[in-house]
């Protein structure tokens, strides 16, 4: 586990919001980070999953951002039936790995993890030109992104893309290398025009709590122009908490707020949208019960003293 870094003055830790009204038709959270603790009193992964189950979020995709969290994600998914895993090196990891001469070694580790049961996606990978602005760093990100695309295709897995201030470069890379059959733009951050480019290519757009924000107009306009068969939903928790709880810790159990806001905007019943999104999610990642889980190696322990990236929540 690791703790979310907050500014104690400008962004202090607060309590988790209350449970929302349960959805009638369940959905999946296709992007979350259960390994990150947040809030005045943090919630352990099992508690977060229990809360999610109680409000109609039937499963999550737990996403890695480096080799350690990817191992953690794959291990958690192997023991928890409500979790599938995505494994990758975040684009912001790439420059330092290239400089250290260890990118290829880490990519081998991701390729190996991608073959584990219940690992269904390569992600989050992509390009982040907001935090990386020098040419060498951007070249490192592109090299890493291209390698992840190839791993997804070799393993027959979905691809989850992190795209920040790099829309055109991400699309150009996918077209140059060849996108996997199931490609998802995690936490879609573009406008209606970019949404059309993605959906016309047959890729998926995953909407987070940002679609509920006051400044989320372009995201809501994107919803208006894409087929509902291309829509996914996520929390990216513990970040991007939907309204009316923006700024407080996020968790998969808050997904109904985002779902209902999206349904209201496009003028449909929440249950109808939930059914469509659940179908889309299973098309991308498969069913959560396709592969059995194995019993954990020991009793549940939310704070294993000797635990690490490969020992998420059980003491063995």
Residues 109-125: pLDDT tens digits?
999 999 999 999 999 99
Which CA distances in Å does 305 have to 36, 48, 102, 161?
17, 21, 28, 33
Q: Is the pLDDT of residue 169 over 50?
A: yes
How many angstroms separate the most distant Cα atoms in the chain? 52
Q: Which CATH number fits domain 27-285: 3.20.20.140, 2.40.10.340, 3.30.1330.200, 2.30.110.10?
A: 3.20.20.140
The answer to whether 24 and 50 have CB atoms below 8 angstroms apart is no
Domain spans, the chain: 27-285
Share of the chain above pLDDT 90, in %: 87
Residues 122-136: pLDDT tens digits?
999 999 999 999 999
The answer to whether 58 and 86 have CB atoms below 8 angstroms apart is no
Q: Retrieve residue 124's tokens.
A: 């989050």
CA distance 24 to 12: 34
The answer to whether 45 and 248 have CB atoms below 8 angstroms apart is no
Residues 185-241: pLDDT tens digits?
999 999 999 999 999 999 999 999 999 999 999 999 999 999 999 999 999 999 999
CA 33 to chain centre: 7
How large is the average pLDDT for residues 282-297?
93
Band of pLDDT at residue 297, cut at 50, 70 and 90: confident
Query: Can you point out the beta strands (E) in the chain?
Result: 2-3, 27-32, 36-37, 57-63, 83-87, 119-128, 158-164, 183-185, 204-207, 231-233
Q: Is the pLDDT of residue 300 over 90?
A: no
Q: Is the pLDDT of residue 4 over 80?
A: no
In this prediction, residue 313 carries a pLDDT of: 40
Question: Would you list the DSSP string of 136-187?
Answer: HHHHHHHHHHHHHHHHHHHHT-EEEEEEES-HHHHHHHHHHH---SSEEETT
* Average predicted confidence (pLDDT) for the chain: 92
């Amino acid at each position: 586990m690791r703790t979310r870094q907050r500014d104690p003055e400008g962004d202090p830790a607060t309590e988790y919001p209350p449970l929302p009204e349960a959805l009638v038709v369940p959905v999946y959270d296709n992007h979350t980070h259960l390994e990150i603790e947040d809030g005045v009193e943090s919630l352990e992964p099992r508690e977060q999953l229990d809360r999610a189950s109680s409000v109609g979020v039937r499963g999550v995709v737990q996403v890695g951002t480096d080799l350690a969290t990817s191992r953690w994600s794959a291990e958690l998914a192997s023991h928890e039936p409500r979790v599938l895993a995505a494994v990758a090196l975040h684009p912001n990891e790439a420059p330092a790995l290239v400089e250290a001469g260890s990118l290829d070694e880490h990519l081998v580790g991701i390729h190996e993890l991608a073959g584990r049961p219940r690992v269904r996606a390569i992600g989050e990978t992509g390009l982040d030109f907001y935090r990386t602005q020098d040419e060498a760093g951007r070249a490192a990100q592109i090299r890493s992104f291209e390698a992840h695309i190839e791993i997804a295709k070799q393993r027959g897995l979905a691809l989850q893309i992190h795209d920040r201030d790099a829309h055109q470069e991400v699309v150009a890379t996918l077209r140059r290398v060849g996108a996997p059959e199931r490609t998802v733009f995690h936490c879609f951050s573009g406008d209606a025009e970019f949404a059309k480019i993605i959906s016309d290519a047959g890729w998926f757009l995953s909407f987070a709590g940002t679609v509920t924000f006051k400044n989320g107009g372009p995201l809501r306009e994107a919803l208006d122009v894409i087929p509902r068969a291309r829509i996914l939903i996520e929390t990216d928790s513990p970040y991007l908490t939907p309204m009316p709880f923006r700024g407080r810790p996020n968790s998969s159990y808050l997904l109904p707020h985002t779902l209902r806001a999206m349904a209201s905007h496009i003028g449909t019943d929440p249950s109808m949208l939930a059914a469509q999104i659940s179908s889309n999610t299973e098309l991308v990642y498969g069913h959560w019960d396709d592969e059995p889980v194995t019993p954990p190696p020991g009793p549940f322990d939310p704070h294993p003293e000797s635990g690490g990236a490969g020992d998420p929540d059980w003491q063995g």
